[in-house]
Amino acid sequence: MHTFWLYLCAADSSASKKHLTGVYNLVAVITHNGPTTNSGHYVSWIKQTNETWTRLDDHVATSHEEQEILSLCGGADEEHVAYLYLYKAQVT
């Protein structure tokens, strides 16, 4: 089992003139393919700045269109199920 740590840093609002809009954009998805969380395979889908998505599956990276990511509904052993969504806040 792997342990990952996520460090969150508070932004210094006095150093930036940017303001949160309350709108968030999907920038990454972690999916799972398999019958249980202990049996199966995890895959990362990362949105690139050119609006395409990259699928990171072990050592293989492939490009995909956004429609494919939006259709990751899964529900069966052979389909990817969205496990974790990552969003980025829009600022003005």
Q: Are 31 and 80 in contact (CB under 8 A)?
A: yes
pLDDT digits (tens, 9 = 90+) for 21-67: 889 999 999 988 887 778 888 999 999 999 899 999 999 999 999 88
**pLDDT score for 20:** 84
**pLDDT score for 72:** 75
**pLDDT score for 6:** 44
**pLDDT score for 15:** 43
What separation, in Å, do the N-terminal and C-terminal C-alpha atoms of the chain show? 40
pLDDT digits (tens, 9 = 90+) for 70-90: 777 666 556 788 888 899 998
pLDDT digits (tens, 9 = 90+) for 2-21: 444 444 455 555 445 678 88
Q: Which long-range contacts link 36-44 to residues 24+ away (Cβ below 8 Å)?
A: 42/83, 43/80
- Which residue ranges make up each domain of the chain? 20-91
